[in-house]
């Protein structure tokens, strides 16, 4: 695996040490068991996989290289990101502090008009990619986006696969959030060669399956998917041959379940013998990092704990899915950083109301007299390791007589040294 040049301040004395030891001891990534940091009265169970993935490290390396190679442009405010590079407020705030300006919000609202750009300006494409229409608009203004394009290679893989099956007259079914940046980009690239429709979850996939089987007609389709299908979509024609791709940050297990459901619908309509003619196998488009993080979270949950803390940007799709997995089994708090973790109350993002709320008396002090408090700790793919260190440090400050960091890390430094 390629090593990226990521700024040292995103690394951490605790988490990065644990990750390095696990990589050295288990290079094939077969052991999903969590790492346990035992500080005496409190134990942290750390997911085997989390934090910066390949695509995020690639994006960070490119963005910081752009700043280093163009200090004059950065100083004069002529280095732009099309929108947030990744969905982490700490990373984006640091880039802004170094001179980068954002052209658009993640929802597509224009912050700086493209008319303000010129050929000498530097525009960085975020890790989610962008639409063909925006690329063409920038190119028409003489703005080059090729030198510092941070689009994740696994997102581009989805686009290429969509193009391949589109050329074979398959319609593209995208498992994703219709207005997420990545899904908007995928729709734009896929619709150049094929009809496209987006399904958000297994319930919507079930509705689409009913149309494929002929149990529901066009009126039902447009009622459910009118704003998620490309212009001119004809359900009678365009659902005859289909392939499923996904927004790479979605739950991999759900994408597979949706693909299986729609495949069965195709079989029910056309028969098992001809399924290969009507359903394209696109399982190779699933993002390995997203799946690794989710698989590690399942194992983390099985290990059990008193509560879970998940760190990441509130608009991070992959982080929100980790939160969903954890909160089905234990009290779970979605925070953007240690500043939200207080002894008396915790400020955290509620996925169901899409608001930040304060929960008092959240910490299970009652168990401390009998046994160590156990905390599951993980993070999204765009979260720096350093933020988890800060959470650990904040919580350790509430206890007397904790073991030192060196003592807690001893199993990992010993394993690393003897490996």
| Residues carrying an active site annotation | 182
Look at phi and psi of residue 55 and say left if phi exceeds 0, alpha if psi is from -120 to 50, else beta: alpha
Here the tokens at position 384 are 């720096």
* Dihedral angle, C-alpha 259, 48, 15, 4, nearest 10 °: -60
3-state secondary structure of 333: strand
Residue 203's nearest CA partner among 175, 229, 179 is 175
Residue 313's nearest CA partner among 9, 51, 49 is 51
Contacts of 39 (CB under 8 A, 6+ apart): 396, 399, 402, 403, 408
Residue 307's nearest CA partner among 229, 207, 374, 232 is 374
Q: Is residue 328 within 8 Å of residue 386, measured between CB atoms? A: no
3-state secondary structure of 145: coil
Here the tokens at position 146 are 């090729």
Q: Is residue 391 within 8 Å of residue 335, measured between CB atoms? A: yes
């Amino acid at each position: 695996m390629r090593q990226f040049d990521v700024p040292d301040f995103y690394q951490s004395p605790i988490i990065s040490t644990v990750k390095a030891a696990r990589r050295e001891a288990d290079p094939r990534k077969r052991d999903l068991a969590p790492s346990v940091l035992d500080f005496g009265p409190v134990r942290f169970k750390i997911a085997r996989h989390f934090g910066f993935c390949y695509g995020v490290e690639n994006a960070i390396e490119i963005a910081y290289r752009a700043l280093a190679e163009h200090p004059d442009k950065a100083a004069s405010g002529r280095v732009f990101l099309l929108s947030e590079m990744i969905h982490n407020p700490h990373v984006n705030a640091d880039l802004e502090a170094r001179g980068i300006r954002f052209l658009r919000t993640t929802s597509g609202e224009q912050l700086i008009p493209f008319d303000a750009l010129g050929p000498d300006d530097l525009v960085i494409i975020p890790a989610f990619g962008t639409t063909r229409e925006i690329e063409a608009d920038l190119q028409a203004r003489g703005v080059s986006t090729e030198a510092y394009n941070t689009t994740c290679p696994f997102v581009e893989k989805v686009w290429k696969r969509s193009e391949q099956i589109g050329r074979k007259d398959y319609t593209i079914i995208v498992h994703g959030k219709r207005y997420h940046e990545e899904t908007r980009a995928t729709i734009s690239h896929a619709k150049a060669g094929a009809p496209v429709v987006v399904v958000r979850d297994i319930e919507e996939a079930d509705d689409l399956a009913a149309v494929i089987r002929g149990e529901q007609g066009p009126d039902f389709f447009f009622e459910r998917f009118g704003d998620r299908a490309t212009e001119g979509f004809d359900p009678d024609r365009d659902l005859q041959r289909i392939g499923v791709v996904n927004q790479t940050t979605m739950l991999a297990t759900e994408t597979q379940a949706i693909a299986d459901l729609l495949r069965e619908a195709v079989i029910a309509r056309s028969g098992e013998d001809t399924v290969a003619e009507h359903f394209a196998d696109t399982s190779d488009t699933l993002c390995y990092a997203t799946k690794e993080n989710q698989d590690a979270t399942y194992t983390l949950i099985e290990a059990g704990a008193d509560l879970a803390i998940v760190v990441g940007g509130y608009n991070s799709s992959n982080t929100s899915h980790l939160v969903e997995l954890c909160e089905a089994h234990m009290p779970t708090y979605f925070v953007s950083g240690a500043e939200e973790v207080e002894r008396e109350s915790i400020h955290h993002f509620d996925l169901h109301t899409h608001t930040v709320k304060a929960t008092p008396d959240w910490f299970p002090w009652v168990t401390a007299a009998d046994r160590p408090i156990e905390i599951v700790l993980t993070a999204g793919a765009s979260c720096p390791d350093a933020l988890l260190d800060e959470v650990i440090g904040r919580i350790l400050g509430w206890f007397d007589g904790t073991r030192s960091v060196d003592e807690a890390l001893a199993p990992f430094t010993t394993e690393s040294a003897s490996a």
